[in-house]
Structure 1
Amino acid sequence: MADRSGEASTTSYERDETMSARLDRNYNELLQELRVMQAGIQILFGFLLSLAFQSRFTAVSDFQRDVYVVTLVSATLATGFLVAPVPFHRLVFGRRMKDDLIRAATRYVAAGLVFLFTSISGATLLVLDFLLSRGVAVATTSVIGVVFVVLWVAIPMRARAQSDVGVRSGGGRRRA
């Protein structure tokens, strides 16, 4: 984007769009994020549902069964929260409630990500505990969990904090 002098501006994220256009863009971006997550959670959920019907599943320990139940419930809840924006949209469609929809969908996605994280961690722990020793499984799953938290939370929050500093120091106002 060029500023008034014709030079490319690198500090301003201002958009020349109406509130309606901004809401539409935000909702479309949210839908794109959901599409990425949907495939992963559906595959994991299907895997977990089929696992209980495998002949070797009867040989799991109490710990593994407990991890499985928590993981299955988490995957179910992740699916529910990550799909929730769709029926919400359908029920409020045409009522000029897109701002409410985006606010609610953002909360649903945040909750869905927590349950998705729990599901991925649980599935990893379950498989590793079945294949390796419990100590190795717990340690490996913990390291993987830390990597997920860094990628999903720490790095984005750091970028957000740096962005806020730029906004406060006059580096331009950013708007979603």
Structure 2
Amino acid sequence: MAENNSSSTAGDAPRNETRFERADRNFAEILQELRVTQAGVQILFAFLLTLAFTERFASLDTVQRATYVTTLLLAVLAAALFTAPAAVHRSLFGQHSKPRIVRVSSRLAVIGMGVLVFALAGSVLLVVDVAVGRTGGIIASAGTLLVCAGLWGVLPLLLRRAGKDEGTGGTEGTGPDTSDAVRPAGPR
């Protein structure tokens, strides 16, 4: 007999779903999120790949070349982290491992976002350094880090706290018989 779990999100009616139904839903949500981030990473990666074949690339100094290579490798790592959930799902398909897949996929996505922050900051550093100078590049890169940290880290924490204060947040996946094992880690 399937176990039923009732969970709700802020403003939503309670859901009556088994842990595997919840895992299926959570995995679909993670995949939707990854579609957004993957497109950005692919565009960034393509941009970085083309830079090495431009005429101006030969004029980059040592710091700019190191920034370029580091940023390129960070973009590759982010792309790998964002595509890994599909590979994990494919390798465990049909083994009733969806809750584990969701856990691992969520962690991969969170790590991927962290790597992406540095890839974006590195790209901004390189472009602004070449366009206006090193000081401007460092300032713009630091600004990029702050904006991403604020929007991707601080804002979700503030929203979670506000939801808890209102008594409506943080309730998804916390009903009776609910396992945190199928709830993605990190900000929701």
Q: 2:7: which partner in 1?
A: none
Unaligned runs of 5+ in 1: 1-9
Q: Distance in 2 between matches of 1:29 and 1:57?
A: 40
Q: 1:15-94 alignment to 2 at 5 Å?
A: 15-94=15-94
From the superposition, tell whether residues 114 and 172 of structure 1 become closer, same or farther in structure 2 (CA, over 3 Å).
closer
Q: Distance in 1 between matches of 2:170 and 2:34?
A: 27
From the superposition, tell whether residues 12 and 44 of structure 1 become closer, same or farther in structure 2 (CA, over 3 Å).
closer
Q: 1:1-176 alignment to 2 at 5 Å?
A: 14-167=14-167, 174-176=171-173
What is the CA-CA distance between 1:173 and the residue it aligns to? 6.7
From the superposition, tell whether residues 117 and 173 of structure 1 become closer, same or farther in structure 2 (CA, over 3 Å).
closer
TM-score by length of 2: 0.81
Identical-residue share of aligned pairs (%): 37
Report SS of the residue matched to 2:17. coil
Matched residue type, 1:73: L
Count of residue pairs brought into register by the alignment: 164
TM-score by length of 1: 0.86
Q: 1:4: which partner in 2?
A: none
Q: Distance in 2 between matches of 1:134 and 1:124?
A: 11
Q: Distance in 2 between matches of 1:15 and 1:173?
A: 15
From the superposition, tell whether residues 175 and 60 of structure 1 become closer, same or farther in structure 2 (CA, over 3 Å).
same
Unaligned runs of 5+ in 2: 1-9, 174-188
- Whichever of the two has the greater Rg, that structure is 1
Q: Distance in 1 between matches of 2:82 and 2:169?
A: 33
Q: Deviations over 1:106-133 (max 9, x none)?
A: 1100111111111111111100000002
Q: Distance in 2 between matches of 1:15 and 1:79?
A: 33
Q: Distance in 2 between matches of 1:12 and 1:102?
A: 22
CA RMSD of aligned residues (A): 1.8
Matched residue type, 1:175: E
Q: Deviations over 1:122-162 (max 9, x none)?
A: 11110000000211121122122211111110010111123
Q: Distance in 2 between matches of 1:94 and 1:62?
A: 50
From the superposition, tell whether residues 28 and 12 of structure 1 become closer, same or farther in structure 2 (CA, over 3 Å).
closer
Q: Distance in 2 between matches of 1:137 and 1:173?
A: 39
From the superposition, tell whether residues 104 and 142 of structure 1 become closer, same or farther in structure 2 (CA, over 3 Å).
same
Q: Distance in 1 between matches of 2:91 and 2:46?
A: 28
Q: Distance in 2 between matches of 1:37 and 1:112?
A: 9
